Amino acid sequence: MTTLLERLTRIGSLLLCTTLTCSFAQAQDSARPDLGGVWTNASLTNLTRRAGVDTLVVTGERAQVIAAGIPIGGIEGGFDEDDGVNNTPEAGGDDFGARAYNHFWVDPGSNLALVKGEYRTSYIVNPENGQVPRLENPTTDFKRTSFGSRYVTGIGNADGPEALPLSERCILSEGKAGPAMQSGLYNNNYEFVQTDDYVMINVEQMHDARIIPIFASATEARANRRPEVLQQYMGDSVGWYEDGALVVETINVNPQQMQQSSTAITENGRVTERFTRYSDSEIVYRFTVEDSDLYSQPWTAELSFHAIDGQLYEYACHEGNYSMPGTLAGARRLEAEQR
């Protein structure tokens, strides 16, 4: 079992490696895949399968048809005009605010997810229907917070900064940071850095950094868990290599993150991720969510990271962003007018 000093020393080496671009990246072998590099998982595929689509895998032609009808940024069927400018609804209309983005601002990908040469209609591969097997009556009082209506209408709780979702508060890009890293509207890029004792995944959006300690086996990894009181964002992740894949098991995720997550787990659940180097330009990423308090069965999703040239770029979130003070100031003004 490693000491705290040894682990801190290794973290320091990892951070130095990240800054200087390490020259001692791990060699590819059958037991320990080389995951280093810059990758993207951008695609128009959702976690769950859309209504009217019956199969997981479709042809390239069918994939283009499905992709053309997928809502982007809350806009049904993609963008309105070839010039990339959305037709703004009338103020006060039911759909006002649903078109917050025009084509210039988003980069979600141009087609469905390509995994091992197949176009996929959902990330979920099990159950076969491509749906999350949620319990109708969960055995816990876990409450999931949805900000979908707020995003579409602009109307929501503005009692204080904490009433806004984590992404709007520039704390965490939940859907991309993990556990369970999926694509979104933009900034779907990641940098993987691998050392002897850690794997670091730097997420371009918010620059969330997952630092995962690596152990010789699952047994040793689980024996080195952090104290339960440390409910960190992105959870308590430990990893090991197994059958040519990096396996990462995560528990004890910050409850606030889980309340806003599409891959939520309670204190009794876990997310297990597998990273397999499928080819020189593709990492197949598979994750399984297990939690009998929320789901009727374990469920599994799969997508791929594809290699890209270049580097991650700055993601400025709070800098020059006046949306939060504007939202809160507007709410206080409305309250004053209603007195």
Give tens-digit pLDDT for 43-69.
999 999 999 999 999 999 999 999 988
Which DSSP helix (H) or strand (E) runs through 62?
Answer: helix 60-68
Residues 191-218, mean pLDDT to the nearest whole number: 95
pLDDT tens digits along 141-176: 777 787 777 766 677 889 998 888 888 888 998 789
Decide: 14 and 26 in contact? Cβ < 8 Å. no
What confidence score (pLDDT) does residue 18 get?
A: 43
Bridge partners, 212 (sequence order): 199
CB 212 within 8 A of CB 200: yes
DSSP string, 281-312: TEEEEEEEEE-TTTBSS-EEEEEEEEE-SS--
Interatomic CA distance for residues 61 and 303, integer angstroms:
20
Quick one: average pLDDT of 187-212? 95
Q: Which tokens belong to 322? A: 């006046």
Cα separation, 73 vs 151, in Å, equals 9
Cα angle vertex 127, ends 245, 254, to 5°? 65
Residue 266 has pLDDT above 60, yes or no: yes
Residue 26: pLDDT over 50: no
| Most confident option among 4-8, 18-22, 128-132, 138-142 | 128-132
Domains of the chain, residue spans: 4-61+119-338
H-assigned helices in 1-56: 4-20
Q: Indicate the pLDDT class of residue 38, thresholds 50, 70 and 90.
A: very high
Q: What integer pLDDT is reported at residue 86 of this predicted model?
A: 46
Average pLDDT for residues 63-86, to the nearest whole number? Answer: 65
CB 121 within 8 A of CB 45: yes
Find the mean pLDDT for residues 228-252: 96
1's CB contacts (< 8 A; 6+ apart) are 220, 223, 224
Q: Is the pLDDT of residue 83 over 50?
A: no
pLDDT the model gives residue 95: 55
Check residue 277 and give its pLDDT. 97
Q: What is the pLDDT of residue 339?
A: 87
Mean pLDDT over the full length of the chain:
84
- Phi then psi for residue 63, to 5 deg, are -60, -40
CA–CA–CA angle 277, 18, 237 (5° rounding): 60
Whole-Å CA distances, 107 to 9, 14, 65:
38, 30, 18
- Are 319 and 206 in contact by the 8 Å Cβ rule? The answer is no
Q: 């990462």: which residue's tokens? A: 248
Q: How far apart are the first and last CA of the chain?
A: 62
Using alpha carbons, select from 176, 196, 279 the residue that is nearest to residue 239: 196
Does the pLDDT of residue 256 top 60, yes or no?
yes
Q: Report whether 287 contacts 251 (CB < 8 A).
A: no
0.75 surpassed by pTM: yes
